[in-house]
Amino acid sequence: ITKNGLWIKDKIENNTIIVNASSIDGVFLKDTIISEFNEEFDILRNIQSNKIDIKNKQWIAHNVTLYENNTVTKKENLKIISNFDYEKIQSLFSNLSSLSLFELIDLKKNYQSLNYSTTEVDMQLLKVISYPIYLSLMTLFSCVIMFATKHTKSSTFKISFGLFASVLIYYINNFFNVMGKTEKISLIPSIMIPLTILVLINAILLYRINEK
């Protein structure tokens, strides 16, 4: 994904396919140019289309201008075989966890230029920004648990309680992340509610320890 739109490199049999689309609208690539090359990377044909249906791996291009063998042909529809479909392209867009803060900001700009939803990028940006707070709260939670259970001799209970707490926190985080991604709730609450729950749990446990 660049400022020039979405680029896809594909390989069908021995031919290399380069796809460049200016934007994505639902399951359609808009204003797309497809170049097909042979093994020696000689150009075989160019396909220009203002709308391509990518619901499945047999794409359907509409209002096609085909450049092949030094001739120009107009076609109403043209079927194009690909290894990519809408779901696969969308899953590639969603792999954001390995990107840095600055890379996410650049990616958001590119998504906007493609008219592609920036919800998941915004979610990842908020996660990166709030991650130090989350780590601090989890460290405090671990310390509080150790103080709260220091008189408990059973190691099995301590391990079981720690695992239960970890799993519970994971599912709470995951639940609110899904709610944010699906836009059931806004993104900021989807990040802040799990952190607020951790703050409240830590405060309650610290209060009880202080009472003892």
Whether the Cβ atoms of residue 30 and residue 51 lie closer than 8 Å to each other: yes
**Cα–Cα distance, 108 to 55 (Å, whole number):** 24
Q: Is the pLDDT of residue 209 over 90?
A: no
108-137 mean pLDDT: 83
Question: 41 — alpha (psi -120 to 50), left (phi > 0) or beta?
Answer: left
Centre a 10 Å sphere on the Cβ of residue 91 and count the other Cβ atoms it contains.
9
What b/e string do you get for 95-108 counting C-beta neighbours within 10 Å, with b at 16 or more? ebeebeeeebeebb
140-168 mean pLDDT: 79
**Cα–Cα distance, 28 to 59 (Å, whole number):** 10
**Cα distances (angstroms) measured from residue 67 to each of 14, 44, 106, 155:** 20, 9, 34, 73
* Global model pTM greater than 0.85: no
For residue range 49-103, what is the model confidence (pLDDT) as tens digits? Answer: 999 999 999 999 999 999 998 899 999 999 999 988 888 777 666 567 767 788 7
Which of 44, 45, 43, 82 has its CA nearest to residue 60? 82
